[in-house]
Amino acid sequence: MSEVPAHIDFRANVQRVPPHTPVSVRKATSKFLDTRQAVVEVVSDERWQALRQAGHEIRLHTLAHLDHYLARLEEKVRDAGGIVHWARDAADANRIVVEIARAHHVTRAVKVKSMATEEIGLNHALQANGIPVLETDLGEFIIQLAGVGPSHIIAPAVHLTKEDIAALFTQKLGVDAPPDPLELCAIARARLREEFLAADLGISGANFLVAETGTLVIVTNEGNGRMCTTLPPLHIAIVGIDKVVPNWEAVNVLLKLLPRSATGQKMSAYTSFITGPRRSTEEGGPQEFHLVLLDNGRTRILKDQVTRETLLCIRCGVCLNVCPVYNHVGGHAYGFAYSGPLGAMLSTQLLGLNTAADLPFASSLCGACAEYCPVKIPIPEILLRLRRRAVEGDQIERAVAPAAIQTGAKLGALTFGIPWVYEFGTQMLKYVQAPLQRNGWLPHLPPPAHRWTMARPFPAFGAHFRAWFRKRKDEGGRMKDEE
Ligand code: SF4
């Protein structure tokens, strides 16, 4: 397993986040969902489902032939004058970027929003080596000032209100910032413009890598992607190996799915296609281009036939928007760069069960994420598989759940699998819980369940479910007869 740099443990940062404001999160996610609904309706449900199926098949096909498409991509990037590096893990990727920056005597860097660089903690690595790096996406700029990680993969500062941001700008930038979105944008723009012009390194990720031509596809809504990748003389892109797609037909399909699902736009304001560094016939663009292809646990994810579909993800963020758990706890509660259902699947596998075994359990398994996912990733199925891995272990990782949980899971499977055992068990629980019960609640449970009751009481177990179910079934039968 890749070593996880301590600096990307956002759990530490959570302590420094201002009191989380779920209302601002829910407001933003429901707005994203409303606009998404409107653009999907224009497409028509039938065509939208066909697009989703096509997206799923393209991504699945690419994963099945990843070696072929990555080799082709490398060849095409080199043909276009770029330099390709392969990074096994986060430490490797950070080392490569720092070495390139040092070799070019970089004094300051500007960066496009990129989840891959959040994943590896690139900013910390550069800054630790004396290279200041400035985030240029507005949301990332804000959270960089706040000193925290992203709380949403599309809208990193979604947990903050305009009042929070105004206070932050006033404190950190030394300006009198009013809580007005336009004024706050103007302050950030003025600050960023100077940096774009002064930076000698531009850093980006990519939404897709086109194997056919060696092209990076970058979508943004602020134009900062183009500034970062064209103004500085050196451009380094750090991109997960899962972002490769075969050709432009694939891009055509995926660009119909991504902005609609992410922000409810037919297309993003800026879609940039970058192939290699500046050509001799071109006036603008970097003189040197490096592509760092990041594994960091992705090839290990490929080993499992079920969980490998995690790598189909196009990072649209709609699964976060629709997730009841994410909407209640916000992104920082997940503890890592990726949050929501995506984080529950991806972080668990990238970081390993020893670090993130609790994440697959942060789901109600309601299935809304899978219904909305534009590339039809079976998210609940993957989460169940990861839960099973945590409890029983498999060919990828050993079980990490404490013995009490493993025994509890076995007992649970036995109890729920045999109706009379279930019925007998619930009758017994009525007596066992009696000394602990207070007004229909269990305020203090013994270990290991005590961790739950440290935060909230547990409802007392009812012994009537089977009776209620039978009654309901009987009534249902009678109602049918009456019809
Ligand atoms: S898992 Fe699906 S819905 Fe979630 S971010 Fe990825 S592509 Fe979007």
DSSP class per residue in 421-464: HHHHHHHHHHHHTGGG-BTTEES-PPTTTHHHHTTS-EEPPPS-
Query: Please, where are the H alpha helices in 129-235?
Result: 138-146, 162-173, 181-198, 224-230
In a domain, 389, yes or no: no
Last residue in a domain, options 299, 320, 349 = 299
Q: Give the residue, out of 53, 375, 386, with the most ligand 1 atoms within 8 A of its beta carbon, to mutate for a pocket test.
A: 375
Distance (angstroms) between ligand 1 centre and the Cα of 351 equals 19
Distance (angstroms) between ligand 1 centre and the Cα of 311 equals 10
CATH code of the domain in which 118 resides: 3.40.50.10420
Name the least confident of 9-23, 219-233, 388-402.
9-23
Distance (angstroms) between ligand 1 centre and the Cα of 389 equals 22
Give the three-state DSSP class for 281.
Answer: coil
| pLDDT given at position 481 | 56
* Binding site membership of 377 for ligand 1 (Cβ less than 6 Å): yes
In 3D space, the residue among 219, 223, 221, 228 whose CA is nearest the CA of residue 197 turns out to be: 228
Distance (angstroms) between ligand 1 centre and the Cα of 134 equals 27
| pLDDT given at position 451 | 75
In a domain, 161, yes or no: yes
Asked if 204 and 114 touch (Cβ cutoff 8 Å), the reply is: yes
Task: Report, as an integer, the average pLDDT of 114-128.
Answer: 96
Q: Give the residue, out of 60, 62, 255, 314, with the most ligand 1 atoms within 8 A of its beta carbon, to mutate for a pocket test.
A: 314
**CA separation for the pair 334, 151 (Å, rounded):** 9
Sequence-ordered strand ranges (E) for 253-397 = 270-274, 288-294
Asked if 201 and 171 touch (Cβ cutoff 8 Å), the reply is: no
Distance (angstroms) between ligand 1 centre and the Cα of 27 equals 20
**What domain range is 445 assigned to?**
420-482
Query: Would strands 208-210 and 109-111 be described as parallel, antiparallel, or unpaired?
Result: unpaired
Predicted confidence (pLDDT) at residue 483 exceeds the cutoff of 50: yes
Predicted confidence (pLDDT) at residue 361 exceeds the cutoff of 50: yes
In a domain, 268, yes or no: yes
Q: Name the phi and psi angles at 19, rounded to 5.
A: -45, 125
Residue 345 CA: which ligand 1 atom is closest? 1
pLDDT band at residue 5 under the 50/70/90 scheme? very low
* Binding site membership of 373 for ligand 1 (Cβ less than 6 Å): yes
* Binding site membership of 342 for ligand 1 (Cβ less than 6 Å): yes
* Binding site membership of 314 for ligand 1 (Cβ less than 6 Å): yes
Atom 6, ligand 1: residue with shortest CA distance: 313
Atom 8, ligand 1: residue with shortest CA distance: 316
Helix (H) or strand (E) holding 219: strand 215-220
Distance (angstroms) between ligand 1 centre and the Cα of 81 equals 33
In a domain, 401, yes or no: no
| pLDDT given at position 479 | 57
Q: In what order do the strands lie in the sheet with 201-204?
A: 83-87, 288-294, 234-240, 201-204, 109-111, 133-135
* Binding site membership of 316 for ligand 1 (Cβ less than 6 Å): yes
Q: Name the phi and psi angles at 442, rounded to 5.
A: -115, 95
Task: Report, as an integer, the average pLDDT of 383-397.
Answer: 94
Atom 3, ligand 1: residue with shortest CA distance: 373
Atom 2, ligand 1: residue with shortest CA distance: 373
In 3D space, the residue among 210, 201, 196 whose CA is nearest the CA of residue 288 turns out to be: 201
List, for residues 250-274, the tens digit of each pLDDT value: 999 999 999 999 999 999 999 999 9
Q: How far is CA 157 from CA 42, 56, 147, 168, 339, in A?
A: 29, 30, 11, 12, 13
- Cβ within 8 Å of residue 168, ≥6 positions away: 142, 145, 146, 160
Distance (angstroms) between ligand 1 centre and the Cα of 319 equals 6
Output the average pLDDT for the chain.
Answer: 90
What tokens does 458 get?
Answer: 């547990």
Predicted confidence (pLDDT) at residue 304 exceeds the cutoff of 80: yes
Distance (angstroms) between ligand 1 centre and the Cα of 144 equals 24
| pLDDT given at position 103 | 98
Predicted confidence (pLDDT) at residue 15 exceeds the cutoff of 70: no
Query: Would strands 133-135 and 109-111 be described as parallel, antiparallel, or unpaired?
Result: parallel
Distance (angstroms) between ligand 1 centre and the Cα of 290 equals 27
pLDDT band at residue 16 under the 50/70/90 scheme? very low
Residue 315 CA: which ligand 1 atom is closest? 5
When divided into structural domains, the chain yields a total of 2
List, for residues 99-109, the tens digit of each pLDDT value: 999 999 999 99
Residue 369 CA: which ligand 1 atom is closest? 3
Asked if 344 and 411 touch (Cβ cutoff 8 Å), the reply is: no
Task: Report, as an integer, the average pLDDT of 321-327.
Answer: 94
pLDDT band at residue 482 under the 50/70/90 scheme? low
Distance (angstroms) between ligand 1 centre and the Cα of 370 equals 8
Name the least confident of 17-21, 50-54, 366-370.
17-21
Residue 310 CA: which ligand 1 atom is closest? 1
pLDDT band at residue 24 under the 50/70/90 scheme? confident
* Binding site membership of 383 for ligand 1 (Cβ less than 6 Å): no
* Binding site membership of 315 for ligand 1 (Cβ less than 6 Å): yes
Give the three-state DSSP class for 104.
Answer: coil
Residue 316 CA: which ligand 1 atom is closest? 8
Distance of CA 341 to the CA centre of its chain: 8
Predicted confidence (pLDDT) at residue 458 exceeds the cutoff of 70: yes
Q: Are residues 163 and 32 in the same domain?
A: yes
Residue 318 CA: which ligand 1 atom is closest? 3
pLDDT band at residue 431 under the 50/70/90 scheme? confident
Asked if 135 and 205 touch (Cβ cutoff 8 Å), the reply is: no
Q: Give the residue, out of 119, 154, 253, 319, with the most ligand 1 atoms within 8 A of its beta carbon, to mutate for a pocket test.
A: 319
In a domain, 12, yes or no: yes
Asked if 150 and 34 touch (Cβ cutoff 8 Å), the reply is: no
Of the two residues 101 and 415, the one the predictor is more confident about is: 101
Give the global pTM.
0.85
Q: What's the chain's length in residues? A: 483
* Binding site membership of 318 for ligand 1 (Cβ less than 6 Å): yes
- Cβ within 8 Å of residue 372, ≥6 positions away: 261, 318, 319, 321, 322
Last residue in a domain, options 299, 330, 360 = 299
Atom 7, ligand 1: residue with shortest CA distance: 313
**CA separation for the pair 463, 86 (Å, rounded):** 58
Of the two residues 430 and 231, the one the predictor is more confident about is: 231
| pLDDT given at position 363 | 94
In a domain, 253, yes or no: yes
pLDDT band at residue 287 under the 50/70/90 scheme? very high
**CA separation for the pair 320, 139 (Å, rounded):** 17
| Widest distance between CA atoms in the chain | 84
pLDDT band at residue 73 under the 50/70/90 scheme? very high
Task: Report, as an integer, the average pLDDT of 71-86.
Answer: 98
Residue 379 CA: which ligand 1 atom is closest? 1
**CA separation for the pair 179, 164 (Å, rounded):** 8
Last residue in a domain, options 264, 299, 334 = 299
Contacts by 27-34 with C-beta closer than 8 Å and gap 24+? 28/152, 28/155, 28/158, 29/158, 29/320, 29/321, 29/322, 29/326, 29/327, 30/321, 32/154, 32/155, 32/262, 32/263, 32/264, 32/317, 32/318, 32/321, 33/264, 33/318, 33/321, 33/322, 34/264
In a domain, 364, yes or no: no
Asked if 244 and 75 touch (Cβ cutoff 8 Å), the reply is: no
Residue 320 CA: which ligand 1 atom is closest? 4
* Binding site membership of 322 for ligand 1 (Cβ less than 6 Å): no
Task: Report, as an integer, the average pLDDT of 199-228.
Answer: 96
In a domain, 13, yes or no: yes
* Binding site membership of 344 for ligand 1 (Cβ less than 6 Å): no
